[in-house]
Protein backbone atom coordinates (compact mmCIF):
# COMPACT_ATOMS: atom_id res chain seq x y z
CA UNK A 1 0.00 0.00 0.00
CA UNK A 2 1.29 3.43 -0.88
CA UNK A 3 0.96 5.76 2.06
CA UNK A 4 1.56 8.85 -0.04
CA UNK A 5 -1.64 8.70 -2.03
CA UNK A 6 -4.10 9.83 0.60
CA UNK A 7 -6.60 7.19 -0.45
CA UNK A 8 -4.29 4.22 -0.40
CA UNK A 9 -6.69 2.02 1.52
CA UNK A 10 -9.03 2.28 -1.42
CA UNK A 11 -6.46 1.52 -4.05
CA UNK A 12 -7.68 -1.38 -6.17
CA UNK A 13 -5.77 -4.59 -5.96
CA UNK A 14 -4.51 -5.20 -9.47
CA UNK A 15 -2.65 -8.30 -8.55
CA UNK A 16 -2.03 -10.94 -11.18
CA UNK A 17 -3.41 -11.58 -13.76
CA UNK A 18 -4.43 -7.91 -14.13
CA UNK A 19 -1.28 -6.36 -12.75
CA UNK A 20 -0.12 -3.15 -14.41
CA UNK A 21 3.28 -1.73 -13.61
CA UNK A 22 2.21 1.88 -13.53
CA UNK A 23 -0.98 3.72 -12.63
CA UNK A 24 -3.31 4.05 -15.57
CA UNK A 25 -5.13 7.09 -14.25
CA UNK A 26 -3.80 9.47 -16.84
CA UNK A 27 -3.64 7.09 -19.75
CA UNK A 28 -5.96 8.15 -22.55
CA UNK A 29 -7.25 5.38 -24.73
CA UNK A 30 -8.01 6.37 -28.31
CA UNK A 31 -10.52 4.67 -30.58
CA UNK A 32 -8.00 2.04 -31.65
CA UNK A 33 -6.45 1.54 -28.25
CA UNK A 34 -3.60 3.98 -28.83
CA UNK A 35 -2.42 6.22 -26.02
CA UNK A 36 -2.10 9.98 -25.99
CA UNK A 37 -0.15 12.32 -23.73
CA UNK A 38 2.49 9.76 -22.83
CA UNK A 39 6.05 9.47 -24.11
CA UNK A 40 6.17 6.98 -26.98
CA UNK A 41 8.09 4.20 -25.20
CA UNK A 42 6.16 4.41 -21.98
CA UNK A 43 2.97 4.83 -23.94
CA UNK A 44 3.70 1.68 -25.88
CA UNK A 45 4.42 -0.20 -22.66
CA UNK A 46 1.18 0.92 -21.05
CA UNK A 47 -0.65 0.19 -24.27
CA UNK A 48 0.66 -3.36 -24.20
CA UNK A 49 -0.48 -3.78 -20.62
CA UNK A 50 -3.87 -2.35 -21.48
CA UNK A 51 -4.20 -4.61 -24.50
CA UNK A 52 -3.29 -7.63 -22.38
CA UNK A 53 -5.73 -6.53 -19.70
CA UNK A 54 -8.49 -5.94 -22.25
CA UNK A 55 -7.85 -9.35 -23.79
CA UNK A 56 -8.16 -11.05 -20.43
CA UNK A 57 -11.33 -9.14 -19.61
CA UNK A 58 -12.86 -9.92 -23.00
CA UNK A 59 -12.20 -13.61 -22.36
CA UNK A 60 -14.30 -13.56 -19.20
CA UNK A 61 -17.87 -14.75 -19.39
CA UNK A 62 -20.52 -11.98 -19.38
CA UNK A 63 -21.42 -12.44 -15.72
CA UNK A 64 -17.79 -12.13 -14.66
CA UNK A 65 -17.37 -9.06 -16.89
CA UNK A 66 -20.42 -7.46 -15.33
CA UNK A 67 -19.11 -8.19 -11.86
CA UNK A 68 -15.77 -6.68 -12.84
CA UNK A 69 -17.36 -3.45 -14.16
CA UNK A 70 -19.41 -3.19 -10.98
CA UNK A 71 -16.26 -3.57 -8.93
CA UNK A 72 -14.46 -0.94 -10.98
CA UNK A 73 -17.40 1.45 -10.58
CA UNK A 74 -17.41 0.82 -6.85
CA UNK A 75 -13.69 1.51 -6.53
CA UNK A 76 -14.03 4.65 -8.60
CA UNK A 77 -16.83 5.83 -6.35
CA UNK A 78 -14.80 5.18 -3.24
CA UNK A 79 -11.81 6.99 -4.65
CA UNK A 80 -13.99 9.97 -5.58
CA UNK A 81 -15.67 9.89 -2.19
CA UNK A 82 -12.33 9.88 -0.42
CA UNK A 83 -11.16 12.82 -2.53
CA UNK A 84 -14.27 14.78 -1.58
CA UNK A 85 -13.82 13.82 2.08
CA UNK A 86 -10.23 15.07 2.06
CA UNK A 87 -11.21 18.34 0.39
CA UNK A 88 -14.12 18.92 2.77
CA UNK A 89 -12.09 18.07 5.86
CA UNK A 90 -9.22 20.30 4.75
CA UNK A 91 -11.64 23.20 4.32
CA UNK A 92 -13.26 22.57 7.71
CA UNK A 93 -9.83 22.36 9.33
CA UNK A 94 -8.83 25.67 7.75
CA UNK A 95 -12.03 27.20 9.13
CA UNK A 96 -11.40 25.71 12.58
CA UNK A 97 -14.55 23.58 12.41
CA UNK A 98 -13.17 20.09 11.99
CA UNK A 99 -12.90 19.38 15.70
CA UNK A 100 -16.54 20.05 16.46
CA UNK A 101 -18.23 17.24 18.36
CA UNK A 102 -20.99 15.17 16.84
CA UNK A 103 -23.48 16.80 19.23
CA UNK A 104 -22.43 20.27 18.09
CA UNK A 105 -22.68 19.31 14.43
CA UNK A 106 -26.05 17.71 15.01
CA UNK A 107 -27.36 20.79 16.81
CA UNK A 108 -26.26 22.98 13.92
CA UNK A 109 -27.86 20.64 11.41
CA UNK A 110 -31.15 20.74 13.30
CA UNK A 111 -31.10 24.53 13.41
CA UNK A 112 -30.25 24.69 9.73
CA UNK A 113 -33.07 22.25 8.93
CA UNK A 114 -35.65 24.46 10.55
CA UNK A 115 -34.32 27.60 8.86
CA UNK A 116 -34.34 26.01 5.43
CA UNK A 117 -37.76 24.45 5.84
CA UNK A 118 -39.24 27.68 7.18
CA UNK A 119 -37.89 29.48 4.14
CA UNK A 120 -38.83 26.76 1.68
CA UNK A 121 -42.36 26.27 2.91
CA UNK A 122 -43.19 29.85 3.79
CA UNK A 123 -46.94 30.33 3.74
Partner 1 sequence: MTIGPDWVVFDTNIWIFGLRHQPEQPACTQVLKHVPQLHVKIPRQVLLELQANLRHEEMREFFRLLHRHPGQTDLRWEQVDLSRIRTYQRLGCKLGDAAVAAHIEVLGIGTLVSENRDFLYEIRGLPFRVLRAADFLRELGEVE
Regarding 89 and contact with partner 1 (CB under 8 A), the answer is yes
Regarding 107 and contact with partner 1 (CB under 8 A), the answer is no
Nearest CA to 87 out of 36, 95, 3, 55 is that of: 95
Nearest CA to 38 out of 24, 18, 54, 49 is that of: 24
Tell me the helices (H) and strands (E) count for the chain, helix number first: 3, 2
Binding residue count for partner 1, defined by CB under 8 A = 32
Q: Which span (12-20, 25-33, 61-69, 102-110) binds partner 1, by CB under 8 A? A: 102-110
* Sites of contact with partner 1 (CB under 8 A): 70, 73-74, 76-78, 80-81, 83-85, 87-89, 91-92, 98, 101-102, 105-106, 109-110, 112-114, 116-118, 120-121, 123
Amino acid sequence: MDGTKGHSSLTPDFSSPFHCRRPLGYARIGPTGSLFALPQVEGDRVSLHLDALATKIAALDPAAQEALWEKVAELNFQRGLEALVQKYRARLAAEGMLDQTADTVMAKLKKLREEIAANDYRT
